[in-house]
Amino acid sequence: MDIARFWFDPICPWTYVTYQWLEEVRQVRQVTVEPRLLSLHFLNQGREDHPHRDTHLASLPLERFLAHVRAQRGAAAMEGAYRVIAEALFADRREPGVDLVVQAAAALLMDSAEAAAASADEAWDEVIRRDHREAMDLVGADVGSPVIALEGGAAFFGPVLARAPRGEDAGRVWDGCAALASHSDFYELKRSRGAGVQLRFD
């Protein structure tokens, strides 16, 4: 069984496509996903001219809540909360806010007031930073969300996918990513983006 550590910022739609791909991968390959937090706000801190600065900042309460969920219920519950938040953001076109936290808490049968308080509690920021630093130590700061690390230390940013492949196609993409990441001299594989992100909710 392969273990894939998956660092993510919940505000990023491209990251959610990667997550949907990983859900498919788990159906066709022996892979366990271990979710961790990555903060685009912390990554780009100090870049006042960043075009998505406000959006990245708006993700921080969501990440605080997710850190709280993991501390209370474990990584699987955090992943479930992320799924609820992502579908609200990207399928329902909701704005990030405490109402999403309350919705995710309700789905997990957690106390809504406690969840809302956690989303505003800056004490969770160090937990987020600790996860974030772990990813940056593996791949460097010239990346974004998500970051995936395989057993043995091979790690990479992405893959950035416009649409999540399904079934065995998802497995083949996994095989290719794992093969490239495990090669000690591999650095980057990239091309210009075409069509925008294509989220699926079925």
pLDDT for residue 187 is more than 80: no
What is the architecture, at CATH level 2, of domain 2-182? Answer: 3-Layer(aba) Sandwich (3.40)
Q: Where are the domains of the chain?
A: 2-182
Sign of the Cα torsion 199, 192, 186, 40 reads: negative
Name the burial class of residue 121, with classes exposed (0-12), middle (13-18) and buried (19+) by CB atoms within 10 angstroms of its CB.
Answer: middle
Q: What is the pLDDT of residues 105-133, one digit of tens each?
A: 999 999 999 999 999 999 999 999 999 99
Longest dimension (CA), the chain: 49
What pTM does this model have?
A: 0.92
Whether 105 and 111 have beta carbons less than 8 Å apart is answered as yes
Q: What is the pLDDT of residues 131-145, one digit of tens each?
A: 999 999 999 888 899
Cβ within 8 Å of residue 157, ≥6 positions away: 139, 143, 144, 146, 147
